Structure 1
Amino acid sequence: MGGFHRKLERNAIGFVLAIIGVSAIGGLVEIAPLFTINETVEEAPDMRVYTPLELVGRDIFIREGCYACHSQMIRTLRDEVERYGPYSLAVESQYDHPMLWGSKRTGPDLARVGGKYSDAWHAAHLKNPRDVVPESVMPRYGWLQENNLRTNDLSRRLKAQRAVGVPYDDAMIANAAADAYGQANPDSAASNDVRDRYGAATNIRAFDGDAERLTEMDAIVAYLQVLGRLTDAAHAPVKTADASTAAGG
């Protein structure tokens, strides 16, 4: 075997052809499944897009490096499903750019954390994790409560998302800043517009406990509270071959 490698490495043309061949095989394995992507990605008619507040909260989540310790991908392993809930579906991340899948678990997976804890719990946890989880090794993020949320670029953020396929319409883009404010201030007139644009199930409340100010804490808590809740596709009954046959007569 060693002799074969020595001969191959001394033959420049043969070595180049071998590299091309191996690369072609690897590329085919990765590219071929994309031709059947429409058959492998589930349908989710109830899927909704992130609101401007949730979208910027996701950006803050990435900015602070939260994704380095918390994955958002529940695998099909029994212990993961029993701990976190139904395994993740591809359709649940169709509006995520970039996707935050992975298996790094310094902290628990967050794919289905939406609605699991109250807003107050999330805010307290981000300010000082040890206050609610004594054994936590997570750093503090108290400045999120102090930082006013920048909203003057929200329309551009939505427009960039639309450029990569997220179906934001012109009204959503034009009213992004007002919708961010309205979602975190339920007593404002703008809150009704948020529901009209993003659906009746949209969370509208003072996420950080203070409706007078729009903060980065509002944004990241709003984001955490919709993880796993943008669609109910993962909770839909699984159709088996027998059931399909019976239904078809």
Structure 2
Amino acid sequence: MRELFHRKLERSALGFVFAIIAAASVGGIVEIAPLFTIDETVEEAPDMRLYTPLELAGRNIYIREGCYACHSQMIRTLRDDVERYGPYSLAVESKYDRPMLWGSKRTGPDLARVGGKYSDFWHVAHLTNPRDVVPQSNMPGYPWLARNALDVDDLGLHLQAQQTLGVPYSDEMVANAARDAMGQASPDSAFADGVSERYGDATQISSFDGVTTQVTEMDALVSYLQILGRLTDAAYRGTVAEEQVPNPNN
């Protein structure tokens, strides 16, 4: 009986089309319906801060160099993940990520909570020649990042693009994007104070690559790596923090 029905359906082009649409609709509803309650399911994070222009530039370099192809940025709720990397990732932690970089490929370790785990110097050495600090690493080196001056002139446009996507950068942040990028990588410069004023006192201001004569792509990428997992402490607050393994960065 079932075989007869199936054969009859296959011989009717219109009926077969409607059957495909019905099957696809079930999958679509399952994926779309939860979005109507997204405001109730995504955590609140009043302390959530924005990426600075330098960190955003570093994120762009991270994408450009294909780092996401080997490193995920989402700690699963599995015990092994939590014990190795720290509290599992929350949706709110990727609130301002455009595009998101959760990933699933782990040729290298997950980087969701790498911020603050290593020093700036370690990151520079690792990015220049990974085997200098991790002898068994199969990661390629990126020594040119320390030689390439960062193009800061178009950072305001990058912030504007993020504004369009809903990230709440102010017009003042957009107007000062280039100055803030230089100030964050030059602690003794006249621009450094403006970074703290616009992005908060907790913002890391450092000569990330150890050189203050110019802002490099290495500065940008290291500043981005140092903020991963530190835009908010939502994962460590209340019951979430109590149920999970303590932060391995501490």
Shared fold, TM over 0.5: yes
The amino acid of 1:187's aligned partner reads D
Deviation at 1:63, TM superposition (A): 0.5
**Whole-angstrom CA distance in 2 between matches of 1:42 and 1:101:** 17
Q: Does 2:64 align with 1:43? A: no
Q: 2:69, 2:103 within 8 Å by CA — same for their partners in 1?
A: no
Segments of structure 1 that go 5 or more residues without pairing to the other structure are 240-249
**Whole-angstrom CA distance in 1 between matches of 2:53 and 2:183:** 10
**Which residue number in structure 2 is paired with residue 59 of structure 1?**
60
Number of equivalenced pairs: 239
**Which residue number in structure 1 is paired with residue 121 of structure 2?**
120
Deviation at 1:190, TM superposition (A): 0.4
**Whole-angstrom CA distance in 2 between matches of 1:2 and 1:108:** 50
The amino acid of 1:175's aligned partner reads N
**Whole-angstrom CA distance in 2 between matches of 1:125 and 1:193:** 30
**Which residue number in structure 1 is paired with residue 202 of structure 2?**
201
**Which residue number in structure 2 is paired with residue 246 of structure 1?**
none
The amino acid of 1:55's aligned partner reads L
Q: How does 1:1-249 map to 2 (within 5 A)?
A: 3-238=4-239
Deviation at 1:5, TM superposition (A): 3.6
Q: 2:75, 2:87 within 8 Å by CA — same for their partners in 1?
A: yes
Runs of 4+ in 1 over 6 A off after TM superposition: none
Q: 2:125, 2:132 within 8 Å by CA — same for their partners in 1?
A: yes
Segments of structure 2 that go 5 or more residues without pairing to the other structure are 241-250
**Whole-angstrom CA distance in 2 between matches of 1:100 and 1:220:** 15
**Which residue number in structure 2 is paired with residue 242 of structure 1?**
none
> Taking structure 1 as the reference length, what is the TM-score of the superposition?
0.94
**Whole-angstrom CA distance in 1 between matches of 2:218 and 2:16:** 56
**Whole-angstrom CA distance in 2 between matches of 1:4 and 1:204:** 70
Answer with 115-124 or 6-15: which moved more: 6-15
The amino acid of 1:8's aligned partner reads L
Deviation at 1:8, TM superposition (A): 2.1
The 1:202–1:13 alpha-carbon spacing in structure 2 relative to 1, beyond 3 Å, is same
Partner of 2:39: helix, strand, or coil? helix
Cα shift readout 1:54-85 (whole Å, capped 9, x = no counterpart): 00100000000000000000000001000000
> Taking structure 2 as the reference length, what is the TM-score of the superposition?
0.94
**Whole-angstrom CA distance in 1 between matches of 2:7 and 2:142:** 56
Deviation at 1:2, TM superposition (A): 5.1
The amino acid of 2:7's aligned partner reads R
Deviation at 1:189, TM superposition (A): 1.1
Deviation at 1:102, TM superposition (A): 2.3
The amino acid of 1:39's aligned partner reads E
**Whole-angstrom CA distance in 1 between matches of 2:125 and 2:149:** 18
**Whole-angstrom CA distance in 1 between matches of 2:5 and 2:138:** 52
**Whole-angstrom CA distance in 2 between matches of 1:141 and 1:52:** 21
**Whole-angstrom CA distance in 1 between matches of 2:3 and 2:189:** 75
**Whole-angstrom CA distance in 2 between matches of 1:116 and 1:94:** 22
Deviation at 1:6, TM superposition (A): 3.2
The amino acid of 1:17's aligned partner reads F
- The root-mean-square deviation of aligned C-alpha atoms, in Å, is 1.0
The amino acid of 1:29's aligned partner reads V
The amino acid of 1:47's aligned partner reads M
